[in-house]
Chains A and B, each alone.
Chain A
């Protein structure tokens, strides 16, 4: 790889708005190489928007974002060679077989032996048996795993996973977690978004909570726990879960009602 040793992802003062919504209002983020970083946030918090900017699909309005020391706005082509994106909604080709999907990705990455890489990934994601069947016959969980496998075909150093386990059963979720841990162990940086607080707790080295266009809090799980010091000692039998921290920080903010009111009626 490159000789640079900066963080895998660095975001400073990132802003993005669509027509009438200010989605990102000055986001700062720092993700160390080889770590698993979880981005939490309610629906509409801007997680997908941030991931799309980082994966060069969307230009930011202001601020800077670098991936592997490459600016996503000005060096987009190089950034694409260092990342992979698994979007929020599965982007697999249903007409092709699972294996053909992976072979296509391997060909587009110009790998020497696309077939071998495809078989390797099918094996890794427990899809070998179904590999020869058209994806249209697959279950949602299998498609999601294929979707992730397709993203990993080129073994890029930075991986974005937008809600990778949404819609998966517990078994499928564990498999994806396993794959994420394997990636990180091999030195890959993983930035994932999730709705499942437990997922962030179990998987991530660091966690950021995105709220109303900014990173509200950021840190390791222990650091986030420390934000809520137990006030009455005798009741502290278990530490607060991340869910409690999350809801305490985000939950009952009356000025926040606007966005939800729109959804509600």
Chain B
């Protein structure tokens, strides 16, 4: 990357971050639904879920509570809701003619895309922090050391980056604002069919099979192990392999679409 390209990326990222800062409601909205889920599951369903799944499950590590069990899945839901805004920002840029203006200027093409990707990472990170603070207020405690937290942050950023490319695909290919953001709905739903809320062992046959073979489960299990100070097993490699696959595929699609639409 030339210094010009870096300079352009910085200028466009600053602009995009201003959008996030000036509509703090997007960060709040991103965090509100995950926090609502957290409240609902901890204070309303929590008792029943723990009673039902207790034998196999959640609190199987002594001293951990259901909020501890729940948080990794909730964090993934936070990522998914935040990405809807990434698609939204890209879509409105395309509609509003900003991208057209940039296309007629003597700047590289890549910064136009990277500004959105970097903003997506930053905005999601802030929303994740807000949700973690909410969880702390609800009694979440973690024995994890700085290294484990670093690993947790790294995994969440990797997931965010991988899915950001899909948000870019959605933003580039959508014909309406609703179409741009709709891609995040299945992502928000996916954790419900994983080990995020209850152990997969409690699920009936086919559902259980799906839950054990979809990407959310290894990611959630890895995050949970790290946060509860447990050793991480082979699931981390499964999780990373999923992330890498989703990332490579998404980025290829996003770049292809971007080339076709923007140049």
Known A95-B18, A95-B23, A104-B15: A85·B101 in contact at CB below 8 Å: yes
Interface of B is mostly: helix
Which residues on A sit within 8 Å (CB–CB) of B18?
95-96, 100
A83 at the interface (CB under 8 A from B): yes
Measured between beta carbons, the chain B residues less than 8 angstroms from A7 are none
B234 part of interface (Cβ distance < 8 Å): no
| A77-88 near B? 1/0 per residue, CB < 8 Å | 100110111010
Among B8, B19, B23, B100, the residue within 8 A (CB) of A108 is B8
B8 and A83 contacting across the interface, CB-CB below 8 Å? no
User: Which residues in A have their C-beta under 8 angstroms from that of B205?
Assistant: none
The stretch from B102-110, B143-151, B183-191, B250-258 touching chain A is: B102-110
* CB of B241 closer than 8 Å to a CB of A: no
Point out the residues of chain B lying under 8 angstroms from A93, CB to CB: 15, 96, 98
Closest chain A CB from B108 CB (angstroms): 9
Q: Tell yes or no: A31 within 8 A of B by CB.
A: no
**Contact in complex: A87, B97 (CB < 8 Å):** yes
> What A residues does B23 contact at CB under 8 A?
95
Check B4 for interface membership: any CB of A closer than 8 A: yes
Number of chain A interface residues as a range: 20 to 34
Q: In this assembly, does B175 line the interface, its C-beta being within 8 Å of a C-beta of chain A?
A: no
A93, B99: Cα distance in complex, Å: 11
> Does B40 touch A at the CB level, under 8 Å?
no
Q: A90-B97, A108-B8 are in contact. Are A56 and B15 (CB under 8 A)?
A: no
Nearest CB on B from A187, distance (A): 19
Q: How far is the CA of A151 from the CA of B100 in the complex (A)?
A: 12
B22 interface residue (CB < 8 Å to A): yes
In whole angstroms, how far apart are the Cα atoms of A88 and B23 in the complex? 28
In the bound complex, do residue A91 and residue B101 qualify as a contact, i.e. CB atoms below 8 Å apart?
yes
Contact bitstring A46-78, B, C-beta under 8 A = 1, else 0:
000000000111000000000000000000010
Does A126 touch B at the CB level, under 8 Å?
A: no
Any B CB within 8 A of the CB of A196: no
Q: Does B97 contact A89, Cβ atoms closer than 8 Å?
A: yes
17 A-B residue pairs with CB within 8 Å: A57-B104, A80-B104, A81-B106, A89-B97, A90-B97, A91-B97, A91-B98, A100-B18, A104-B12, A104-B15, A107-B11, A108-B107, A109-B106, A110-B4, A150-B101, A151-B101, A154-B106
Q: Which residues of A contact B (CB under 8 A)?
A: 55-57, 77, 80-81, 83-85, 87, 89-91, 93-96, 100, 104, 107-110, 134, 150-151, 154
- Given A94-B96, A104-B11, output 13 extra A-B contacts at Cβ < 8 Å: A56-B103, A57-B104, A80-B104, A80-B105, A84-B104, A89-B97, A90-B97, A91-B97, A107-B8, A107-B11, A108-B102, A108-B105, A154-B105
Residues of B near any A CB (own CB < 8 A): 4, 7-8, 11-12, 15, 18-19, 22-23, 96-98, 100-107
